[in-house]
Amino acid sequence: MDLKTITNAPAIVIRPYRPADAADTMAIFLAAVTDTAAADYSPEQIQAWARPETRELSTWHAAMHARNSYVAIVDGEPAGFSDVDRLGYIDMMFVDPRFLGLGVARQLLAHVEAYARAGRLTELTANVSITARPFFERYGFTVEAKQHPVMIGVQLTNYAMKKNLLSN
């Protein structure tokens, strides 16, 4: 079933990351990078970013757990994930390509923003891919700098972005 053809958008539930989510969130990350981001990055850049052969589930879980991560659930299935630290930095926000266009990223961003506001933070920041930049801009983030990080010897492009929470 193609979820994009459903006229009534499915409910999206955002909940804290759980240890059992490790494999699903890693699969979402890999699919989002290798499929969705492939429109804006070369195959060499995608490989350097995704590095599927070096990903270990225990290391992935430890990092997800440490980052205050959240998982978006659609029809009982993990559809995306994000995180936000105590300073308002969003390290990851990825949506399974099968769930694009349903509002998953929007709900995740609303959740992490609510967390930041509850913690009386003044801003959210993120290093955002070329692919994700229009989404973040749509929700009030501005580009602070264009960056060229190097991963395993391959240069990529991303953007340091910020959203002021005091003016919204």
CB 130 within 8 A of CB 40: yes
User: What pLDDT digit, counting tens, does each position of 84-109 carry?
Assistant: 999 999 999 999 999 999 999 999 99
Question: How much is the pTM?
Answer: 0.92
Q: CB atoms < 10 A from the CB of 81, how many? A: 27
How confident is the model at residue 8, as a pLDDT? Answer: 63
Helix/strand/coil for 102: coil
pLDDT > 90? residue 10:
no
pLDDT > 60? residue 158:
yes
* Rounded Cα gap, residues 78 and 111, in angstroms: 16
Q: CB atoms < 10 A from the CB of 125, how many? A: 19
How confident is the model at residue 2, as a pLDDT? Answer: 45
User: What pLDDT digit, counting tens, does each position of 14-35 carry?
Assistant: 999 999 999 999 999 999 999 9
* Rounded Cα gap, residues 60 and 69, in angstroms: 12
pLDDT > 80? residue 1:
no
Q: CB atoms < 10 A from the CB of 51, how many? A: 13
What whole-number percentage of the chain has pLDDT above 70? 94
Q: Count Cβ neighbours within 10 Å for each residue of 17-41 and write b for 16 or more, e otherwise.
A: beeebbebbbebbbbbbbebbbeeb
Q: Look-up: residue for tokens 């395993």? A: 152
